[in-house]
Amino acid sequence: MYDQSIPSQQLPNAVGVGYKPQHFAELLETPGPVEWVEIHAENYMGDGGRPHAQLRALSERFALSVHGVGLSIGGENPLDTAHLARLRKLLERANPGSFSEHLAWSTHGAEFLNDLLPLPYTDTTLARVGDHIAQVQDTLGRQMLLENPSSYLAFAESTYAETDFLAALVQRTGCGLLLDVNNVFVSSVNLGVSPQAYIDAYPLDAVGEIHVGGHDEVTDDHGAPLLIDSHGAPVVDPVWALLEYTLARCGPKPVLVEWDTDVPEWPILRAEAERAATALALAPAC
Amino acid sequence: MSVNQSSFRAALLDAAAPAPQGLQDATGAPAGRRYDVYRNNVVVSLTEAMKLAFPTVRALVGPENFDSLAPLFVRQHPPSSPLMMHYGADFPAFLEAFTPLAHLGYLGDVARFDLARRACYHAADAVPFDAAVLQRPPEVLGNLHLVCAPATRLIRSRWPVFDLWQRATDPTAPAPRPVGQAVLITRPEFDPEVHLLPTGAATWFTTLRTRSLGAAIEAATAAAPDFDFATTLTLALQSHAFCTPERTPE
CATH number at residue A121: 3.20.20.150
Q: Is A45 on the interface with B (CB under 8 A)?
A: yes
Per-residue pLDDT of B117-144, as tens digits, reads 999 999 999 999 988 889 988 889 999 9
B138 and B249 fall within a common domain: yes
CATH of the domain at B197: 3.90.930
Range of the domain at B61: 1-122
pLDDT at A9: 53
Compare CB distances from A112 to B4, B80, B125 and report the shortest one's residue.
Answer: B80
> Residue A224: which domain range?
15-280
In a domain, A187, yes or no: yes
Q: Is the CB of B43 inside 8 Å of chain A's CB atoms?
A: no
Does the beta-carbon distance from B25 to A53 stay under 8 Å? no
Amino acid, res. A200: D
**Cross-strand pairs, A107:** A112
Span B164-174, average pLDDT: 96
Number of domains chain B contains: 2
Q: Give the tens place of pLDDT for each residue, B202-213.
A: 999 999 999 999
As for the ipTM of the complex, it is 0.93
Task: Clarify whether residues B141 and B93 are in a common domain.
Answer: no
Residues B53 and B118 in one domain: yes
Question: Within this chain, do residues B134 and B107 fall inside the same structural domain, yes or no?
Answer: no
Task: List pLDDT tens digits, range B50-64.
Answer: 999 999 999 999 999
- Which of A244, A129, A131 has its CA nearest to residue A185? A244
Q: Which of residues 81-120 of A touch B (CB under 8 A)?
A: 83, 86, 105-108, 110-115, 117-120
Q: Which of B122, B157, B183 is the last residue of a domain?
A: B122
Same-domain status, B129 and B118:
no
Q: Could you tell me if A260 lies within 8 Å of chain B, comparing CB atoms? A: no
Average of per-residue pLDDT across B101-117: 98
Strands B153-157 and B181-186: antiparallel
Instruction: Please count the structural domains in chain A.
Output: 1
Q: Which residue of B has its CA nearest to A228?
A: B37
| Residue A251 within any structural domain of the chain | yes
- Which of B71, B106, B122 marks a domain boundary? B122
Last residue of a domain, one of B103, B122, B141: B122
Q: Give yes or no: residues B215 and B150 share one domain.
A: yes
> Are B23 and B87 found together in one domain?
yes
d(CA A216, CA A227): 6
pLDDT of residue B246: 47
Cα–Cα distance for residue pair B39/A228, rounded to 1 Å: 13
Contacts of B33 in chain A (CB under 8 A): 220-221, 226
| Per-residue pLDDT tens digits of chain A, which is 286 residues long | 555 444 445 899 999 999 999 999 999 999 999 999 999 999 999 999 999 999 999 999 999 999 999 999 999 999 999 999 999 999 999 999 999 999 999 999 999 999 999 999 999 999 999 999 999 999 999 999 999 999 999 999 999 999 999 999 999 999 999 999 999 999 999 999 999 999 999 999 999 999 999 999 999 999 999 999 999 999 999 999 999 999 999 999 999 999 999 999 999 999 999 999 999 999 988 7
Asked if B135 and B249 sit in the same domain, the reply is yes
- Within a domain: A161: yes
Measured CA angle at A118 (ends A112, A120), to 5 deg = 130
Shared domain for B129 and B110, answered yes or no, is: no
Domain identity same for B145 and B247 = yes
CB distance from A251 to chain B under 8 Å? Answer: no
Contact status, residue B2 vs residue A156, Cβ threshold 8 Å: no
Chain A residues whose beta carbon lies within 8 Å of the beta carbon of residue B25: 153-154, 190-191, 220, 222, 224
| Within-domain flag for A10 | no
Q: How do A15-18 and A255-258 pair as beta strands?
A: parallel
* Residue B135 near chain A (CB below 8 Å): no
